[in-house]
Amino acid sequence: MHEFNWGLLIVVYLFLGGLSAGLFFAAGLANYLTVDDKPVYAKVARMGALLAPWPVAIGSGLLILDLGNWYRFYKLFLHFRWQSPMSIGSYLLTIFTLIAFVYLFAWLKEDERKWIFSKVPATWKQVHRLNVDISSWREKIAMVGFPFSIGVGIYTGVLLGAVSARPFWNTNLVAQMFLFSALSSGSAALLLAMLLDRKNPIEKHETKFLVTLDVVFISLELFIILPYIIHGQLSSQAVKDALTLILGGPYTVVFWVFFLFLGLLVPLAIEVYELFPSIFKGHEFHGSRRMALTAAGLVLFGGFLLRYIFVYAGQVSSFHRMGLLR
């Protein structure tokens, strides 16, 4: 008779928070890669900048609605409790969201900016003062935002990892696992968005950039997940017991088949297959649209499932009740 204190809204929130972090990171990186002082991936950077703030903003909204007393959420900002990941995270998330919105603003085209301000009543003089071109600040904003985006990615893992009562979470690998999963979801979401944007068809070098980024992040994630399991098996009994949740227990199929295989290995294989000829055989990168769409979709699916498995399985894991599972 176990009830879950945290449900699907928390899963969605952790996923969306990570997604924004990943989007910002990929967009910021794209902004920095230049040839002759001109960003080669300007379109990627712009798309990422336009998308980055929304998931985290929606996710935070959902989290607030999930509170027992949602209108008391402001109390989060009346206190700073350094031992509470949620307290630190609230500040981190707020600052990051603000930076992401400023970054979005810096990437607006002039007519878009004018259009937005044309909707603001003319009497709101203070607001109209903000109608300035800050596109020259892009690099600086990205620089400031990088640590915050990584912080948010890590935070979504630390929120769970810091809970000593739940052996499934309480290892020092969960934070990195969530970070790399967030970064990979971000680049996959960016790839998906660019593929779906028919007005500005994605170019081959852009697909290649995002696919490469994703391969790096998925590989890193994989090399965290394997040690997580191996290390857990070599750990204390409580951790070993917790791992039975995905090694024979109720979350085994969703972990191995849906998350690890479909959400991680299959997209990795597709992306490596796509990249291989262009990297090792000197062929041109052909970049099949369908392959890229499938891979990006699967990565997002996997990223969501990782949060799902951790939020739910983690709450079942415990120091004393695990016996009931057998």
Partner 1 sequence: MAIKKKRYALVIDSRKCINCKACVVACKAENKVPVGNFRNRINEERKGEYPKLSINFEPEQCHHCADPSCVRVCPTGASWQRKDGIVLVNYDECIGCRYCMVACPYDARYFNEEEGVVDKCTFCSHRVDKGDIPACVETCPSKVRVFGDLEDPTARIHELLSTRRYRVKEPQTGNGPQLYYLL
Site residues (vs partner 1, CB under 8 A)? 5-6, 66-70, 72-73, 75-76, 78-79, 81, 83-87, 90, 162-166, 236, 238, 315, 318-321
Nearer to partner 1, 22 or 59 (CB): 59
Nearer to partner 1, 72 or 289 (CB): 72
Nearer to partner 1, 69 or 136 (CB): 69
Shortest Cβ 252–partner 1 spacing (Å)? 23
DSSP 265: I
Answer yes or no: are the C-beta atoms of 63 and 69 closer than 8 Å.
no
Question: Nearest CA to 322 among 166, 160, 164?
Answer: 166
In whole angstroms, give the CA distance from residue 239 to residue 246. Answer: 12
Establish how many alpha carbons lie within 13 A of residue 129's alpha carbon, considering only the half-sphere containing its beta carbon: 3
Shortest Cβ 84–partner 1 spacing (Å)? 5
Answer yes or no: are the C-beta atoms of 56 and 100 closer than 8 Å.
yes
Nearer to partner 1, 75 or 286 (CB): 75
Nearer to partner 1, 261 or 319 (CB): 319
Nearer to partner 1, 88 or 142 (CB): 88
Shortest Cβ 243–partner 1 spacing (Å)? 17
In whole angstroms, give the CA distance from residue 140 to residue 118. Answer: 27
Shortest Cβ 67–partner 1 spacing (Å)? 5
The first and second tokens of residue 166, run together, are: 């739940």
Answer yes or no: are the C-beta atoms of 229 and 243 closer than 8 Å.
yes
Shortest Cβ 167–partner 1 spacing (Å)? 10
Shortest Cβ 208–partner 1 spacing (Å)? 42
Question: Nearest CA to 205 among 11, 22, 35, 21?
Answer: 35
Question: Nearest CA to 251 among 152, 319, 317?
Answer: 317
